Structure 1
Amino acid sequence: MTRALSIEIRRSAAVGSALILLAVGVALLYLVDEAEWSTGWMQLVMTQRLYLAMLWPLALAAGAWQGRREQQSNVTELFASTPRPRGQRVVPTLGAMAVTIVAAYVLMGVAGAVSIISTASYLPVAVVAVVAVGALALLAAVWIGLAVGRLLPWLATAPTLGVAGLGLLLTIPAITRPRGWLALVFSPIYEMNMPDAYTTVPGRVSVAQAIWLAGLAVAGVLLFASSGRRLRLAALLPVALGAALAVTVMPHQNRTVVDSVDPVAQELVCATDEARVCVSRVHEGLLPTIVPQAREALTILAKLPGTPTQVHEDNTTYLPYRPAPRSADVALVPIRTGYESLDGTSDEIGNLMPKIVVAAFASPYDCDKGPARPDTLAAAYWLIGRQPVFEEPDTAADAVIRWQALRDLPADQAAAKVTAIRAAALECK
């Protein structure tokens, strides 16, 4: 069987199909928006799942292309005349397509891992489940494609099936509305977009999706291996059973993944050599880069009395909204990986010091009456000793004007104004 499998891998469309999926997947990771998955492992594997929107239809088309091989080669009657049952004859084809397509998906993840392996130290168990469900989705797609290609061995079958697969994925949310949890059952890409640093996929969600996809994969095998109408009708059973079990297991609430937070990823971890600097566990690998910048920022803030003596990552979540604890002696700074810094000269993590100083003057997220953004920027950059630099053009002009006004004042008056701005931010509830 091993020899037959290796021959099938070499002579079939398996390797070519896998290489196409791998190339498309890696291109999507690095050319669309690397910042969305550069935070950690969960963000990477969820982004992979999102890109199944392209890979799943391609796997369907690849299976359909391979499935029409016997008809295209005019060997259908020859193979039917052999004493070997069809179920045994199709095993190498099923195995070759499965092994190569799944390998392409795993290698796509490895290609992404190269960028984050040095900083992503937190690896939750749920990552394995998310990857496994994604691989199972491609497995089901390629086996269903094989079955359709065999039953409809036309030249147009593969591209038509690919387009139909893409259309199905895109319309599932609309078909199941307002029951969003149903879309989560039947679509491997639903709610996988734009994961934040603390997002996770609950275990029940992965189990339910795996049950449905396993039923779909079994149906594909039965259809591809069938030699009569009775077995083809039997292929409907795993689909129905898988759907029923998956619907039972899936939590019956909308936004299950969007509203899920991993508390372990969110909890703060402090640097061993600098207890005043703490980040969430998902960003623990960034501490060597953050600590020296935090020390520099705290030194700058120490020019004024009552300024923060600690730097913590702002681990606020917005879906659902849970603000990080605030304290007068702590500067809460949001940390985002993969983004350019405010001045566009380096990545944001490599130029974090100004953000920490600015954070000391920031009001709470839900505060409407605190100091204006230009005032906080002007105060922070007055302490830093250089002109404000950030991305909002409209705010930039006001901030520079107010910063210049602070510079024109005597040092004691400017310090008093800066202290008043910070006090206003702290008093805002």
Structure 2
Amino acid sequence: MSILRIELRRSAAVGAALLALTVGVATLYLARGRWSDGWLSLALTTKEYMILLWPIALAAGAWQGRREHRAKVGELFDTTPRSPLRRMLPVLVAMGATLGLAYVLVVVAGGVQLASTAGYFPPDVVAIVLVGAFSLVAATWLGLGIGRLLPALVTAPVLAVAGVLLVFFTAIMQPDWMAAVLSPAYGSGGFYPFQTIDAGVTAALAIWMVGLALTGVLLLVARNPRVWLAAALPVLLGFGAAAAIVPRDEAALVAPVDPVARELVCTDDAPKVCVTRIHANVLDTLTPLAREGLAVLAKLPNAPTQAHEERRAYLTDGAPARDLDVVTVFVRIDERGGLAHPGVVVPEMVFGLGIGYADTRCERNGAVERAAAYYLLGRQPVSAVEEIPEVFEEDPETTAEAVALWQGLRKLPEPEALSRVTAVRDAILACRDSSGLLSR
């Protein structure tokens, strides 16, 4: 333990860990909105930052690995009776443990904010974070081995650049199963809050990282070319074992879903409002807004009586079965874990006239639907750019046409106007063109 304490004081372990921790926490909090949905989003976002953290660990190991060469004591230490592995064990533990701990602390730093808002903690998070931490251990040990083998001053910076390129290009390589094995950042940067990493993918990455770590150890303790060549064996065996167990099906490789996180949590009273389990903390805030939207839609015959959060996985799910009793609601989470853009909830529910936009197989007239929706809302149509957070551009003619149609509806008796709006809704359901239904 005393030797280990000396290593922690004199080696690059603490400095490298502090650098990784600082970079990780800074990048995490510069993009708080990306992971404020919950623990899964936090784990995936931190995993995405492997593109920065893995090269730091690799370069730090390489810098430390050239210490004997830098001090010109390599030949002296080779004459000692202690085996190379025993002699290198303290630096392996010091460097690996501190960098691995730094990764865990980055996640903990994000978890401090989530603790008060994220009520669902998926078990997948533990495995994802632990394998992520071990990935930094593997990068550090591999860097130590390469640094000792190639103790040039440029080795560490070259490895840092190579590490960035390696993590990035292996994450996007084809086929997907190979990317899942090779890249510590694969599957990160979630597209929806309930996205996870398949357990088989996590296990395959862990095996590959074990191979890299053992290769690094062999390179660090090797004293002859024969052992240097043998150092390739663990990485080859690790890749073979990982490739044997990694899933091959798209559902497990491309943005898989945690089914528990996607389960609905609903109000006890009617009209029923439901959100996914991962967003259960905003149910109380969303409920009065969703019920206001249902009340607006109730002006139409056979209007929906329930509001459910939109929970389709856009990369893997097809068009859902249509349920006319349910209107979907897009739930957005702000940087603090609360409901973002509450003012857009009611308009979005009404814009699709209770049908939504999940099924895109039929062409739809945006101006006609906009006019019909704003008639129900009781106000003049405005550009979608002003109403919907994700819309940044729209043809001005669409808004102008919607305003003209809305003005025509306003001149009609209410029963006639509602009849025309109902006709638009029926046309959408029947996949018919709704053009002209408001101006006939």
Which residue number in structure 2 is paired with residue 47 of structure 1? Answer: 45
Task: Work out which of the residue numbers 119, 136, 139 in structure 2 matches 1:141.
Answer: 139
Would the aligned equivalents of 1:180 and 1:253 in 2 still touch at CA under 8 Å?
no
CA distance in 1, matches of 2:309, 2:205: 34
By how many angstroms is 1:349 displaced? 4.8
Map Cα deviations across residues 254-285 of structure 1 (whole Å, 9 max, x no partner). Answer: 57421533322222221245560012222222
Query: Does residue 1:282 correspond to 2:278, yes or no?
Result: yes
Match of 1:380 among 368, 373, 392: 373
- Aligned partners of 2:62 and 2:145 also within 8 Å: yes
Deviation string 1:330-389 (CA, Å, 9 cap, x unpaired) is 21123233499xxxxx93356423222334444553344464233333333333333443
SS at match of 1:352: helix
**Deviation per CA, 1:163-218, whole angstroms, max 9, x where unpaired?**
122222334367x64x3312221112233344323322221111111111111111
Q: Secondary structure of 2:272's partner?
A: strand
Measured in 2, the distance between the counterparts of 1:368 and 1:195 equals 23
* 388-397 or 50-59: bigger deviation: 388-397
1:28 maps to 2:42? no
Match of 2:437 in 1: none
Distance in 1, Cα, partners of 2:429 & 2:267: 26
Q: Counterpart amino acid of 1:268?
A: L
**What is the percentage of aligned positions where both structures have the same residue?**
47
Indicate how the Cα distance of structure 1 residues 285 and 360 shifts in structure 2: closer, same or farther if over 3 A, else same.
farther
| 1:221 alignment partner AA | V
Distance 2:233 2:202 in 1: 22
Q: Which amino acid aligns with 2:284?
A: P
Contact 2:328 / 2:356 at 8 angstroms: preserved in 1? Answer: no
Where does residue 343 of structure 1 map in the other structure? none
Instruction: Give CA-to-partner distance per residue, 1:276-318, whole Å, 9 cap, x none.
Output: 0012222222212211211222233334443222111122233
- Aligned residue number for residue 269 of structure 1: 265
Maintained 8 Å contact 1:60/1:141: yes
Separation in structure 2 between the aligned mates of residue 99 and residue 404 of structure 1, nearest angstrom: 69
Question: What is aligned with 1:366?
Answer: 359
Distance 2:76 2:379 in 1: 82
**TM-score, normalised to structure 2's length?**
0.85
Q: CA deviation at 1:108?
A: 1.6
Tell me if 1:258 matches 2:254. Answer: yes
One of 88, 91, 113 as aligned partner of 2:89: 91
The answer as to whether partners of 1:191 and 1:255 remain within 8 angstroms in 2 is no
Q: 1: distance between equivalents of 2:309 and 2:416?
A: 32
Match of 1:334 in 2: 330
C-alpha contact (below 8 Å) 2:251/2:316 kept by paired residues: no
* 1:78, distance to aligned residue in structure 2 (A): 4.2
- Are 2:418 and 1:419 aligned? no
On the 8 A contact 2:16/2:60 being kept in 1, the answer is: yes
Among 198, 216, 220, the alignment partner of 1:220 is 216
Tell me what 2:107 maps to.
109
- What amino acid maps onto 2:74 in structure 1? T
Structure 2 vs 1, CA of residues 225 and 407 (structure 1 numbering), >3 Å: closer, same or farther? farther
Q: Which residue of 1 aligns with 2:435?
A: none
Q: Take 1:339 and 1:185, find their aligned partners in 2: how far apart are those partners? A: 32
Provide closer, same or farther for how the CA distance between residues 112 and 399 of structure 1 changes in structure 2, counting only shifts above 3 A.
farther
Q: What residue number does 1:156 align with?
A: 154
Q: Is the 8 A contact 2:264 2:275 kept in 1?
A: yes
Kept in 1: contact 2:40–2:125 (CA 8 A): yes
Deviation of residue 99 (structure 1)?
Answer: 1.8
Counterpart residue number, 1:243: 239
User: Structure 1 residues 181 and 235 mapped into 2: Cα distance closer, same or farther (>3 Å)?
Assistant: same
C-alpha separation in 1, matches of 2:113 and 2:369: 35
Q: Report the Cα distance in structure 1 between the residues aligned to 2:427 and 2:82, rounded to whole angstroms.
A: 83
Instruction: State the partner residue of 2:350.
Output: 357
The answer on whether the counterparts of 1:326 and 1:332 sit within 8 Å (CA) in structure 2 is no
One-letter amino acid matched to 2:11:
S
Moved more, 53-62 or 21-30: 21-30
2:196 is matched with 200
Aligned residue number for residue 305 of structure 2 = 309
What TM-score, normalized to structure 1? 0.87
Q: Distance in 2 between matches of 1:403 and 1:111?
A: 51
Instruction: Return the alpha-carbon distance in structure 2 between the equivalents of residues 347 and 404 of structure 1.
Output: 32
- Which residue identity does 1:320 align to in structure 2? T
Taking the aligned partners of 1:257 and 1:51, their CA distance within structure 2 comes to 19
Instruction: Count the aligned residue pairs.
Output: 420
Change (3 A) 1:103 1:404: farther
Q: Structure 1 residues 5 and 373, CA, compared in 2 at 3 Å: closer, same or farther? A: farther
Q: RMSD over aligned Cα, in angstroms?
A: 2.8
Could you say which residue in structure 2 is the equivalent of 1:12?
11
SS of structure 2 residue aligned to 1:321: coil
* Structure 1 spans left out of the alignment, 5+ residues: 341-345
Q: Which residue of 2 aligns with 1:406?
A: 409
Match of 2:179 in 1: 183
The alpha carbon displacement at 1:80 in A equals 3.5
- Mapped partners of 1:92, 1:339: distance in 2: 41
Unaligned 5+ runs, structure 2: 433-440
Amino acid at match of 1:309: T
Name the CA distance, whole Å, in 2 between partners of 1:400 and 1:361.
21
- 1:75–1:357 distance in 2 versus 1, CA, 3 Å: same
For residues 400 and 6 of structure 1, the distance between their equivalents in structure 2, rounded to whole angstroms, comes to 74
SS at match of 1:317: coil
Secondary structure of residue in 2 paired with 1:386: coil
What's the CA shift for 1:105? 1.0
Contact 1:371/1:421 (8 A) holds in 2 = no
Residue pair 1:363, 1:426 contacting (<8 A) in 2 also? no
